[in-house]
Amino acid sequence: MSRLSFLITAGPTREHIDPVRFLSNPSTGKMGYAIAEAVLDLGYDGMLISGPTCLSVSDKISKISVTSAKEMCESVLENIGNFSVLIMSAAVCDYRPIDHFDQKIKKSSSHLNLSFERTEDILMEVDKIGYDGIKVGFAAETQNLEKYALNKLHDKKLNMIVANDLTKKGAGFATHTNIVSIFSDKGGKVNLPLMPKQEIADHLINFIVEYDKKYNN
């Protein structure tokens, strides 16, 4: 049994405007849940922190359900000390409404103006507490995939980033498949062709294990 243990985030977050409306994205959580199952299948310990999804995961994986970016950030910071690898596969909203209305907003005019603020940057918060485990991020882009992925790898002080082009058929949100490139902070790059997300998850965990053996032992 490896010493590695995995904390995985998955799914979207929701930033509520009023009790019936929220800001979110199309993430279904399939990639993150596949990673959680891969962790279990390959014999490692793990925890899943999930935004709202319709998916289920084995009860052998601890799961914490959250809604907002703030809740996900708090949960990651509370639990990360127990794990040697953080995989941030969740599609966390970048913005939330500054004002939250306790009652449903009624239609009263042809326009509604809302102001937004940045949500918590979970990876930056993790860096602030001095977490020294392996950090894996995800980048979903519609252009300049490698450039933006490598920028995020550097800016977020990641060890590895998984990048996919949302414009490619079979890749991205709400699909059972994906097409990804995995970059490491050591200059490594692996391109994975179209395949089921579960297979990508297996490859990713194995890449992390090999990275750990090569650079941390």
- For residue 25, give Cα distances in angstroms to 28, 63, 69, 174, 216: 9, 21, 12, 11, 36
Could you confirm whether 25 is annotated as catalytic? yes
DSSP-assigned beta bridge partners for residue 141: 165
Task: Report residue 216 as tokens.
Answer: 């941390």
Indicate the Cα dihedral angle 162, 205, 46, 119, nearest 10°: -10
* DSSP line for 147-169: HHHHHHHHHTT-SEEEEEETTST
Q: How far is CA 184 from the centre of its chain?
A: 17
Q: Residue 107 carries which DSSP code? A: P
Query: Is 28 within 8 Å of 56 (Cβ atoms)?
Result: no
- For the four alpha carbons of 153, 156, 161 and 167, in that order, the dihedral sign comes to negative
What residue has token string 């904390």?
A: 7
DSSP-assigned beta bridge partners for residue 9: 49, 88
Which listed residue (25, 178, 191, 216) is catalytic? 25
Instruction: Indicate which residues carry an active-site annotation.
Output: 25
